Amino acid sequence: MQTWEIIEIISIIFSIPVLALAYYDLFLIINAFRYPLDMEKETPFLHNYPLVTILIATYNEKYVIEKSLLAIEKSNYPHNRLQVVVADDSTDDTLSVIDSAISVLNSSGIESMVSRRPDRENFKSGALNNAFKYVKGEYVLLLDADSRIQEDTVSKGVHTLQTHSDASFVSFRVGHYNRYSSPITMLYALNQDLWDTQTKMGSYASNLPYSFQGGFTMLRADKIREVGLWANDTITEDADLSWRLYLHGTRGIYLSNARIMSEDPSTLETWKKQNARVQQGWSRLELKLFRKTLQSKETSWRNKFLLLLIFMSPFSNLSWIITNFLSAMALVLGWSAPGNSIFSSYIYITIITVPLGVFYLSGIYALLVQKILTLRNLIIIPLLSYTTACMVTRSAIGFVEGIAGRRGVFFRTPKRGEERTVAETKYYRDIKLERATIIEGVISVVGLILGVFALLYGVWVLGLSLIGFSVLTLKSMNLSRLFSREKDATTIEEARKSINNAMEESKTSENMDLAEPSRTLLK
């Protein structure tokens, strides 16, 4: 067997899991068209009102937690049937902000309290477990510090669980109150829209498993207790809990017409770190729950296979790097002739191109479902596929660390709300020479060189893929910051103007997201 044949076999082997996931996504988007679009579209009428506990975990979130708590006061669910428990690990001014908001909620008839502890042991999962002893409700609505419920969120969640006795949780669509604050928030919002529409709508329509997001989910309290609350050995506690619920033979329901608003990351660096944490957490869950999944007697073999496949998705990032870099190095070192490269095969190119078409279709349908298929949103769909390319290296590192059994550090995505001082802007602009950042830079430079050689050898798909990946990754790193003076160039007036503009756009975007079909291209 010749060297080029060995390289081709290796490339195909590494491509199989990625293509399996890609074509599973195609299956999901096809099934998403079967989702009942009128499900919980109107505020439901309830015959009885079980007690619902709203459980919120927070840590130093003074810019967002107050509005999230006060949004609960506007709920149309009977206030005497609501309980609010805040699992607060804060060490700054957030303490007084929460105490003040809790006082307002208690005055409105909503029983509210704060759970605090002396340390941050086990981070978010530890805080939730500590606070759960105060939970009285039959149902638990999990929120993040920036999650803002709508007037009928609780009613829709309760009605869904009452009418689906086999479900252990219900997921709500993720809304975005700062969607139009910047190009990055627009891209992130679209990425989340695509995930909700393709994965959650498609999975629900097919009765297949998916991972819920902790800040946008209502669960049965007894089911949480049944699986042992939140695991303390993971940095993706929501994925861990959803997986264990599926192993107990239950299912999840998704509500596309019930939205909980939240804040999107405002920088690529923050987005990348958040994504890498998820990749590392999911990979570690694959190791942790692999045997339990195979041994589960309450889960079908179909769902067992899909759970293992879904949570293996972080492997696709490492697979992409190995396949592309190995093929390019084979050309440069003379191990393979250009015509023998897997990227010169029209069959292979066609196979890997189909998922890209699915990606675009999913984005368009996600906007159409929400009635926000505006020109501004439509034109960023191609940009999203390029933007996510800069996540590949960080995500691959996260996967490797997860498979190696490293728990990792719980990265807390910073939230700024609608207000922001000049001093705090530095947090978002600074970049640190972390090990992952150095690896990113090295891989990007090598990828750029290999991409140029691939183009010179006439393997266009491979060359353009590597060059695009490398340039976008380097761009996302903002390396120029390393050589700038530690001085904030933004003036006070510029900062205030930026804040005011962001606030105005946040209000506009929230209104556009919830209603304004007249601004859509398709009605």
Over pLDDT 70: what percentage of the chain? 85
pLDDT in the model for residue 161: 95
**Mean pLDDT confidence for 217-242:** 91
Least confident of 94-103, 270-279, 402-411: 402-411
Does the pLDDT at position 123 exceed 70? Answer: yes
The pLDDT tens digits for 447-462 are 999 999 999 998 888 8
What ranges do the domains of the chain cover? 3-29+313-519, 35-264
The two structure tokens encoding residue 453: 């050689």
Does the pLDDT at position 247 exceed 70? Answer: yes
Mean pLDDT of the chain: 83
Over pLDDT 90: what percentage of the chain? 35
Least confident of 34-38, 63-67, 253-257, 268-272: 268-272
Does the pLDDT at position 511 exceed 80? Answer: no
Higher pLDDT among residues 477 and 374, named by residue: 374
Does the pLDDT at position 250 exceed 80? Answer: yes
pLDDT in the model for residue 401: 87
Q: Which of 195, 199, 510, 180 is nearest to 377 (CA)?
A: 180
Q: What is the CATH number of domain 35-264?
A: 3.90.550.10
Higher pLDDT among residues 501 and 348, named by residue: 348
Does the pLDDT at position 104 exceed 90? Answer: yes
Higher pLDDT among residues 348 and 220, named by residue: 220
Taken in order 496, 499, 505, 507, the sign of the CA dihedral is negative
pLDDT in the model for residue 499: 40
Does the pLDDT at position 477 exceed 80? Answer: no
pLDDT band at 508 (very low <50, low <70, confident <90, very high): very low
pLDDT in the model for residue 216: 93
pLDDT band at 483 (very low <50, low <70, confident <90, very high): very low
Cβ(187)–Cβ(381) under 8 Å? no
pLDDT band at 412 (very low <50, low <70, confident <90, very high): low
pLDDT in the model for residue 479: 55
> What is the spatial order of strands in the sheet that 251-262 belongs to?
111-115, 82-88, 52-58, 139-143, 216-220, 167-176, 251-262
pLDDT in the model for residue 390: 83
Cβ(86)–Cβ(115) under 8 Å? yes
The pLDDT tens digits for 167-210 are 999 999 999 988 888 888 889 999 999 999 989 999 999 999 99
The pLDDT tens digits for 228-238 are 999 888 888 89
- HSE, CB side, 13 Å, CA atoms: give it for residue 134: 18
Least confident of 126-140, 214-228, 474-488: 474-488
What DSSP assignment string belongs to 387-454? HGGGGHHHHHHHHHHHHTT-----------TT---HHHHHHHH-----HHHHHHHHHHHHHHHHHHHH
Maximum average pLDDT range among 179-188, 195-204, 262-271, 391-400: 195-204
The two structure tokens encoding residue 95: 């303490």
List C-alpha distances in Å: 156 to 50, 180, 187, 256: 13, 27, 28, 11
Higher pLDDT among residues 318 and 406, named by residue: 318
pLDDT in the model for residue 512: 40
pLDDT band at 417 (very low <50, low <70, confident <90, very high): low
Least confident of 186-190, 354-358, 374-378: 354-358
Distance CA 50, CA 292 (A): 33
Least confident of 1-5, 26-30, 136-140, 496-500: 496-500
pTM: 0.83
pLDDT in the model for residue 426: 44
Q: How far from the centroid of its chain's Cα atoms is residue 393's Cα?
A: 17
pLDDT in the model for residue 430: 43
Does the pLDDT at position 437 exceed 50? Answer: yes
pLDDT in the model for residue 52: 96
Least confident of 13-22, 79-88, 164-173, 307-316: 13-22
pLDDT in the model for residue 407: 64
The pLDDT tens digits for 291-316 are 999 998 888 899 999 999 888 888 88
Cα dihedral value 449, 454, 460, 466, nearest 10: -40
